[in-house]
Amino acid sequence: MRLKCNSWSMNKDQHLLVKLAISILLLGFAFRLLLFRSNGFAADFLSPMFWKQYVQEPDFNPPVSVGMPENEDQVPLDIVIEKCDLFTGDWIRNPSGPTYSNESCPFIEGHQNCMRNGRPDSGYLNWRWKPRDCRLPRFDAERFLKLMRNKAWALIGDSISRNHVQSLLCMLSTVEQPVEVYHDEEYKSKRWHFESYNFTVSNIWSPFLVKAAIFEDNDGVSTAEVQLHLDKLDKTWTYLYPSLDYMIISTGKWFLKAAIYHENDLKVGCHLCPGKNLTELGFVYAYNKTLHYVMDFIANSKHKGLIFFRTSTPDHFENGEWHNGGTCPKKTPAKEREIKIKDLNRILHDVELEEFEKAAAKAGNNEVNLKLLDFTNLLLMRPDGHPGPYRQFQPFAENKTAVVQNDCLHWCLPGPMDFWNDVIMEMVVRG
């Protein structure tokens, strides 16, 4: 009987030990589970197996473009934007207005001095260009001049280039007044010098970029077709080309004019030349040929400066054109898709992009720094920025209903063109 009791007692003790062991195991498991939840994988977090299974591999795809706040001064400094399209954006309100006035700047040509000529509205002055996925600082004239110390700039092209030179000089003159040091016989090509910085800005008149004989007055009235040599670059700009550190090259609207085309010193055709017994080749033929020749020259030049090719700018004539009563009555900017580019402007723009793309790869292989300034869409949205009837001084002073020539091609200064300089400076700074 006693033996049985002792045996039962031993069995009871063994049962207790088993229960105790199970309890300890359960407590350990519970503790481990608690540690897992509170410390995030605890010791397993450090194991190579964890990194292989749970850590995301680096993403080598380009980051998605970050939307920018309305006030770019509030952009966090830690935001890095890979993609930066300075040419896609909107015109937004700018209550501070321009950095200069028509009275403070002596470089504005009379036809673009809209305020002096009596334009009654001033709302067109209170807008600024804002890219959608980039921060675009305002043009800093002092910084620009410091960057350009001992450098030479040239803007090469037609009257739109001259319009742009005036804008740039007006903005730079808020720091220092330049001195005109050169002009040609017709005062179409000029050069200015900023003495404190030994910096020169040139306006080189070359509306076709190739050799041309032009028979036209300042109002655009022609007495004969342009004689255009499509395979001979205009020496007016190629002669100075090697000595320039920066240049902006452009052309465009002049190719719409009546012209006779020459290649290899032979007449090969024309545009708008009835009765001349020549093949009507059209302006697209001439524009393609010219830009291809110009771009090929640049791409193979081994030039070590920075060369911009600027696209042509749209006009906003309504109910007619320059020569037959067209006007531009808009008083505010247009939103994107509210305004459609004219067919002729679109064709010019398409040719420009096509020829630039062809040249860009070749330029890169030759270490030529060629960049595109595609301002076409930027100014397409500014039908309010032209002189209109105020290309003349006080056109309605004597007759409120006078019929006068409207300018819906060039731009008021101050005006939308000033913001080209914001974009250009940003591209110069970024290299």
Which residues are known catalytic residues? 159, 407, 410
Can you tell me the distance from the alpha carbon of 116 to that of 53, in angstroms, rounded to the nearest whole number?
72
Helices 283-299 and 343-365 cross at an angle (nearest 10°) of: 20
| SS3 state of residue 143 | helix
Instruction: Indicate the pairing of strand 369-373 with strand 306-310.
Output: parallel
> Sign (positive/negative) of CA torsion 231, 232, 237, 238?
positive
CA distances from 72 to 63, 76, 223 (A): 20, 9, 52
Can you tell me the distance from the alpha carbon of 372 to that of 103, in angstroms, rounded to the nearest whole number?
33
Name the E strands within 68-170: 89-93, 127-131, 152-157
Can you tell me the distance from the alpha carbon of 249 to that of 236, in angstroms, rounded to the nearest whole number?
13
Q: Which amino acid is at 106?
A: P
The C-alpha angle with vertex 155 and arms to 148 and 118, in degrees rounded to 5, equals: 105
Cis link prior to 242 (omega < 30° from 0)?
A: no
Q: What is the DSSP letter of 413?
A: S
Nearest CA among 230, 236, 136, 151 for reference residue 193: 151
Phi, psi angles (nearest 5°) of residue 54: -120, -20
A 10 A CB-CB count for 380 gives 21
Can you tell me the distance from the alpha carbon of 178 to that of 193, in angstroms, rounded to the nearest whole number?
5
Q: Which residue has the tokens 């004969």?
A: 224
Tokens of residue 219, six digits: 């109002």
Q: Is there a contact between 388 and 405 (Cβ–Cβ < 8 Å)?
A: no
Helix, strand, coil % (nearest 5) of the chain? 35, 20, 45
Phi, psi angles (nearest 5°) of residue 336: -60, 140
